[in-house]
Chains A and B, each alone.
Chain A
Amino acid sequence: MNDELEINAPGVDAAAIVEEIRAAVERKRAEGAYADPCVARAERSNLTNLQNDDDFFDFYMSCLRQAFVVDINDFAIIERRARLGKLLVILKTTIWKLLKFYTYRLWTQQNQINGLLLSALESAEQKHRTRVQALEERIADLESKQQ
């Protein structure tokens, strides 16, 4: 432990812990641990990062790629009412099984729209990124010539 750490708080270094957390996250991300639609959903309120952090955009796009397909799997039907609760669950589950087939057309179309929007967003971002990079190189070139 160095002197600086001891001045702040002997025995614990929050910045070092955060660095360790980030290294662990990078490692797990490379292994695909966060390729999970629920991670993408969790980030939808964290868009403040988009304004402040270039890396976040890449992360968020990778989240969107995991999340743009609508989940059409069966889901747990919960009934909070104690009276007739079990009966209602059976009734709702039966209705869902009978009708879910008719939702497929809707979800297919929604998935297509989501996929197209995501592709458009990625293309636009790539286009702007290339353009900004070219402009920055041009500015640097002009500045070096001026000097």
Chain B
Amino acid sequence: MEEAKHIAFVVPRLADGSVVGGAETLLRNLAERAARNGCRVTVLATCATNHYTWANELKPGRRTVGDLEVELFPVDDDRDIETFLAVQNRISAGAKVSREEEQAWLRNNVNSRALCAHLAEAGDQYDVMVTGPYLFGLVYHAAQVHPRKTLLVPCLHDEPFALLTAFQEMFTSVRGFMFNTEPERRLAERLYGPPSADQVASVVGMGLDDFTVDPEAFAARRGISSPYLVYSGRREPLKGTPILVEYLEAFRIRNEVDLKLVLTGSGEFPLPPALVDHIIDVGFVNATEKLEAMAGALAFCHPSVNESLGIVLLEAWLAGTPGIVHAHGEVLRYQCESSNGGLWFKTYPEFEEAVLLLLNSPDTRRALGQAGRDYVLREYAWDTVEKRLIDSLNRAAQTSDA
């Protein structure tokens, strides 16, 4: 690859070890794949590892992580959290905020002046700067340094924050975008208008490697003898965890089926006393155990309505397990429709019928799981994704030279 020689990946946190956010994992994977395809890649990230505190826990400076050159910069420690939260709460509630308030929110968001100063000083050495997700002050400010070299991986959601004027301006000023899915691309077009003629906009996504696991290993190890649904990821209202828990409770009351729910991932969530013995919360587990839990599940249930890719759903499909998603989760539903690998519900009765169908018809469950698996192998094989990634980087490098 000649055009895109040196690529900077600017991310709030480097995905490594326990830092496993979806966007961070996506960007790290893209960085590694770009490096394997002949690009010189430098990852520029903050010293933070905890996405609640954003404390500078790692030492700043250069290091090598895997195949990647990494340079870490401190998070600004002069954030006014009160101002940040005051504006954030108003935006979340759908209130209209002024331009000054938007800027105050971005200024007191997660930022690194040191990282932006590096981009300003050393920007010439980079042919393309890939950055995301869109919601961080760091990403917003980094995209302003060399907008015509910036390729945004927005991980965009249909949420009040996406309507801010500042983001409208960011989307119209950058060189281009690498979206995760077609619905995300359509959402960006709906919110900010179609990309201009000199912008590069493509759907790239993230590749997954095929794997084989024993579908009975997880249940045997954990002593589970009943059918179970599985969810992997953060447990919080935005991810639909309350719906999942309350639907399970109703299902168990209304049906004589000892259905369990397995949760892997992080985040505290209060469990109703009646479900304590029926929700198996294994917390953060290694990748193999997570995939084994998926492979043995009746279905992978992902009730979030705010996803831009849904990596865990793709992993569940690779494990041969069908998905059950919320009908208003545009991206996850699109993936289920495109793959025929999952069902979607709007209300509890639809959820109940979908679960009963999968319980009573193992053939349907197998066929859905197989269709999902075929879809991931077809659309999310690394070879396919790498072609889209390299094509995007090449086009961005060409146009930024122009």
Instruction: Tally A residues with Cβ within 8 Å of B.
Output: 33
> For residue A9, which residues in chain B have a CB less than 8 angstroms away from its CB?
339-341, 367, 370-371, 374-375
- Residues of A whose CB lies within 8 Å of any CB of B are 8-9, 11-15, 17-18, 21-22, 24-25, 28-29, 33-34, 36, 38-39, 41-46, 48-49, 52-53, 56, 59, 78
Q: Is the CB of B343 within 8 A of A17?
A: yes
> For residue B370, which residues in chain A have a CB less than 8 angstroms away from its CB?
9, 12
Question: Bound complex: CA of A12 vs CA of B273, how far in Å?
Answer: 39
Q: Is the CB of A46 within 8 A of B375?
A: no
Please tell me if B164 contacts chain A, counting CB pairs below 8 Å: no
> For residue B293, which residues in chain A have a CB less than 8 angstroms away from its CB?
none
Q: Is the CB of A39 within 8 A of B336?
A: no
> For residue A59, which residues in chain B have a CB less than 8 angstroms away from its CB?
347
> For residue A38, which residues in chain B have a CB less than 8 angstroms away from its CB?
249-250, 253-254
B364 contact from A17, A34, A52, A53, Cβ within 8 A:
A17
Q: Is the CB of B347 within 8 A of A43?
A: yes
> For residue B345, which residues in chain A have a CB less than 8 angstroms away from its CB?
21
Question: Bound complex: CA of A22 vs CA of B243, how far in Å?
Answer: 19
The 9 closest A-B CB pairs, nearest first, are A9-B371, A45-B242, A42-B250, A9-B340, A12-B367, A14-B340, A21-B353, A42-B348, A25-B349
Question: Bound complex: CA of A52 vs CA of B349, how far in Å?
Answer: 18
Question: If the complex has contacts A24-B353, A34-B349, A43-B347, are A12 and B305 also in contact, measured as CB distance less than 8 A?
Answer: no
Please tell me if B124 contacts chain A, counting CB pairs below 8 Å: no
Q: Is the CB of B340 within 8 A of A8?
A: yes
A14 contact from B237, B247, B326, B336, Cβ within 8 A:
B336
Please give the distance in Å from B379's CB to the nearest CB on chain A.
Answer: 12
Please give the distance in Å from B275's CB to the nearest CB on chain A.
Answer: 12
Question: Bound complex: CA of A13 vs CA of B340, how far in Å?
Answer: 6
Q: Is the CB of A45 within 8 A of B237?
A: yes
Q: List 7 A-B contacts (CB under 8 A).
A: A9-B339, A9-B341, A9-B374, A11-B367, A18-B344, A28-B349, A56-B347
Question: Bound complex: CA of A72 vs CA of B129, how far in Å?
Answer: 63
> For residue A49, which residues in chain B have a CB less than 8 angstroms away from its CB?
328, 346-347
Please tell me if B246 contacts chain A, counting CB pairs below 8 Å: yes
B369, closest chain A residue (CB): A12
B357 contact from A11, A17, A48, Cβ within 8 A:
A17
Question: Bound complex: CA of A93 vs CA of B353, how far in Å?
Answer: 37
Q: Is the CB of B250 within 8 A of A48?
A: no
Please tell me if B342 contacts chain A, counting CB pairs below 8 Å: yes
Q: Is the CB of B348 within 8 A of A21?
A: no
Please give the distance in Å from B354's CB to the nearest CB on chain A.
Answer: 6
